[in-house]
Amino acid sequence: MTKILDITSNESKVKKMVKELVPKGNLDLCLTCATCASGCPATGIMDMDPRKFIRMAVLGLDEDILKHPWTWICTMCKRCMEVCPMEINIPLFIYQLRTQWPREERPKGILGSCDHHVSSRGGAMGVPLEDFQFTVDDLAEECREQNGFQALKADIDREGAFFALNQNSREPVTEPDELLPLWKILHMAGADWTYYSDMWGGENYCMFLADDDAWEKIIRAQVKKIDELGCKVFINTECGHSFFAVWQGLQKFNIPHNFEFKSIIEYYAKWIKEGKLPVNSDWNTDNIKFTVQDPCNIIRKSLGDKMADDLRYVIKKVVGDDNLVEMYPNKSNNFCCGGGGGALQAGYTEPRQIYGKIKYDQIKATKAPYVITPCHNCHAQIEDLAHIHEGGYYTVHLWTLICLSMGVLGEEERTYLGPDLAEYGL
């Protein structure tokens, strides 16, 4: 037993701050029932769990809690709050704690990504707009050479386009060929779309950094630009946190806007239902099994099980009804993979990987060789988990499979497929 803590004169400033600033943030309401701890993948990491974190604040151990790195281990996945009998807003409590770290002491990876985004007015990787423009033009050119896509359009800031699309900067910068499947899908569905130029990167590490000002700045710039272009729908690519950053940012900062904000997955489902995307599962003659990761940000934290059902509708159409193997638990009760909340950039690699073990075990239990991850952070984390545990499964975007199913997936667009599908349909 460590030394006796004297709590008599503790002032509990953290508790007061959270109560004032966080909706449903009265930590004193905690029943210490352990619902949160029993459902949290970060329980036990650094000998900490959400219940202990709340307790430290309740008992006024402010110094300990303000310095505790578990603040960056928690991914704010909200699995705790969903079931907390007192509905204590644990994710925002963590967020509030992140705000209390001196900015320069916050994890460098997250900090750098945020700063790059704001200073470049592009994305987290600091790529200048010209480079992005060049990549888009170049790839579009290339794509138009492929059979059936001669008329494909990919552009930036085209006024009057129906859809504005956001783009994570990872693809244009590190794997440009991955841009093409989504463009092909949009083209085949007859979507009238454009990228927008200001703060064009979909990712938002300023949110993870808990830098409200920067987060707001990014969203406001995007909104302004999209409204200037006159787009009717702002469509979010296959990425969880970028969706949540906009979805939550519009509400949190009360930003007026003239467009509707949607996830691309909703449109995949809509277009398939309308017959605009001729997907089918006939190609999967070997009945290759797929499982799916439900990204917290677009399911539990925002659109709920309806979104999860849309996701399953698309997948079943693409791989066959019987070839989707569920992880348990799933949908709104799914476990965070451990890649959320900025964890991939936070620098706590080992804890992040321990966090992800539960996800890895879930995946392995399905015995499926493919994990569909319609989210960039999930994708990166789940791939990393396969790598460190020698998992032997493949982590794929949904766009890859949709194009595969429609027979339009190009040779260079197969990075994430296994050898069984590497040649398929070429």
Partner 1 sequence: MSSKETIGSVMIVGGGIGGIQSALDLANSGYYVYMVEKSPSIGGKMAQLDKTFPTNDCSMCIMSPKLVELGRHINIELLTLSEITEVNGEPGNFEVTVFEKARYVDMEKCIACGACTEKCPKKVEDVYNEKLVKRKAIYALYPQAVPLKYSIDPANCIKLTKDKCGNCEKECPADAILFDDTDKTHDLNVGSIILAPGFKAHDPSGNPYYAYDNNPDVVTSLEFERLLSASGPNQGHLIRPSDHKEPDKVAWFQCVGSRDINNCNNSHCSAVCCMYAIKQAIIAKEHDPSLECTIFYMDMRTHGKGFENCYNEAKDKYGIKFVRCRVHSVFSEGEKGTVIDYFDEAKGVVVRDNYDIIVLSVGIEIDAETRDLTKKLEIELTDGNFVKTDTFNPVSTSRKGIYVCGALQGPKDIPQTVIEAGAAALVSGSALSSTRNTLTKKMLIPEEIDIRGDRPRIGVFVCHCGINISSVIDVAAVRDFAKDLPFVEYVEDNLYSCSQDTQELISTQIREKGLNRIVVAACTPRTHDPLFQETLVEASLNKYLFEMVNIRNHGSWVHKDFPAEATQKSKDLVRMAVAKVAQLEPLKEEVLEIHQDALVIGGGISGITSAKALSEQGYKVTLLEKSENLGGNANLIHKTANGQDVALHLDQMKDSVYEDNNIEILTGAELKNVDGFVGNFTSTIDTNGNKKSIQHGVTIIATGALEYKPNEYLYGEDDRILTGLELDQKFKENAPFLAESKVAVFIQCVGSRNNERPFCSRICCSHSVLSALSLKEKNPGMKIFVLYRDIRTYGEKENLYKEAREKGIVFIRYGINDKPVVKKEKDILSVVVTDHVLQRKLNIQTDLITLASAIAPNNNDKLGKFFKIPVNDEGFFAEAHVKLAPSDFATDGVFLCGLAHYPKPIDESIAQAQAAASSATRLLSRKTINTIGTTAKVNSSYCSSCGSCIEICPYNAPDFITEGNFEGLSEINPLLCKGCGACAASCRSGAIYLRGFEEFQIMEMIENV
Could you tell me which stretch among 36-44, 212-220, 370-378, 407-415 binds partner 1 (CB under 8 A)?
36-44
**Of 30 and 226, which has the nearer Cβ to partner 1?**
30
Indicate whether 422 belongs to the interface with partner 1 (CB under 8 A): no
In terms of DSSP H, where are the helices of 30-105? Answer: 35-38, 50-58, 62-67, 79-83, 90-100
**Of 44 and 148, which has the nearer Cβ to partner 1?**
44
Indicate whether 20 belongs to the interface with partner 1 (CB under 8 A): no
Indicate whether 350 belongs to the interface with partner 1 (CB under 8 A): no
**Of 365 and 422, which has the nearer Cβ to partner 1?**
365
- 30-42 CB burial, b ≥16 within 10 A, e <16: beeeebbbebbbb
Indicate whether 364 belongs to the interface with partner 1 (CB under 8 A): no
Could you tell me which stretch among 22-30, 150-158, 199-207, 243-251 binds partner 1 (CB under 8 A)?
22-30
Report CA 168 to chain centroid distance, whole Å: 10
Contact 204, 215 (CB under 8 A): yes
The correct pick among 13, 63, 67, 87 for binding partner 1 (CB under 8 A) is 87
Indicate whether 26 belongs to the interface with partner 1 (CB under 8 A): yes
**Of 84 and 209, which has the nearer Cβ to partner 1?**
84
Indicate whether 55 belongs to the interface with partner 1 (CB under 8 A): yes
Indicate whether 363 belongs to the interface with partner 1 (CB under 8 A): no
Indicate whether 52 belongs to the interface with partner 1 (CB under 8 A): yes
Indicate whether 294 belongs to the interface with partner 1 (CB under 8 A): no
User: Which residues make beta-bridge pairs with 262?
Assistant: 235
Indicate whether 32 belongs to the interface with partner 1 (CB under 8 A): yes
Indicate whether 84 belongs to the interface with partner 1 (CB under 8 A): yes
Q: Tell me the pairing of strands 163-165 and 233-236.
A: parallel
Shortest distance (Å) from residue 278 CB to partner 1:
31
Indicate whether 35 belongs to the interface with partner 1 (CB under 8 A): yes
Tokens representing 418 are 């296994």
Indicate whether 21 belongs to the interface with partner 1 (CB under 8 A): no
Indicate whether 28 belongs to the interface with partner 1 (CB under 8 A): yes
Indicate whether 86 belongs to the interface with partner 1 (CB under 8 A): yes
What secondary structure does DSSP assign to 374-391, as a single string?
-SHHHHHHHHHHHHHHT-
The correct pick among 189, 255, 305, 407 for binding partner 1 (CB under 8 A) is 305
Residue count at the site for partner 1 (CB under 8 A)?
48
For residues 200-219, which are near partner 1 according to CB under 8 A? none
Distance in angstroms (rounded) separating the CA atoms of residues 416 and 233: 30
Residue 18, helix vs strand vs coil = helix
Indicate whether 8 belongs to the interface with partner 1 (CB under 8 A): yes
For residues 324-343, which are near partner 1 according to CB under 8 A? 326, 328-333
The contacts found for 6-10 with CB under 8 angstroms, 24 or more apart, are 7/59, 7/60, 7/61, 10/59, 10/60, 10/61, 10/62
Q: How many CB atoms lie within 10 A of CB 249?
A: 23
Shortest distance (Å) from residue 51 CB to partner 1:
6
Could you tell me which stretch among 39-47, 184-192, 239-247, 413-421 binds partner 1 (CB under 8 A)?
39-47
Tokens representing 290 are 């797929």
* Span between the terminal Cα atoms of the chain, in Å: 65
Indicate whether 4 belongs to the interface with partner 1 (CB under 8 A): yes
**Of 57 and 406, which has the nearer Cβ to partner 1?**
57
User: Which residues make beta-bridge pairs with 261?
Assistant: 234
Indicate whether 44 belongs to the interface with partner 1 (CB under 8 A): yes
Residue 235, helix vs strand vs coil = strand
Residue partners of 172: CB distance under 8 A and separation at least 6 = 127, 131, 132, 135, 136, 179
What secondary structure does DSSP assign to 170-182, as a single string?
HHHHH-GGGHHHH
In 132-254 the beta strands, taken as DSSP E runs, fall at 163-165, 193-195, 233-236
Shortest distance (Å) from residue 331 CB to partner 1:
7
Indicate whether 230 belongs to the interface with partner 1 (CB under 8 A): no
The angle formed by the CA atoms of residues 125, 130 and 131, to the nearest 5 degrees, is: 50
The correct pick among 17, 18, 39, 209 for binding partner 1 (CB under 8 A) is 39
Residues at the contact surface with partner 1, assessed by CB under 8 A: 1-8, 15, 26, 28-40, 43-44, 47, 49, 51-52, 55-56, 58-59, 79, 82-87, 305, 326, 328-333
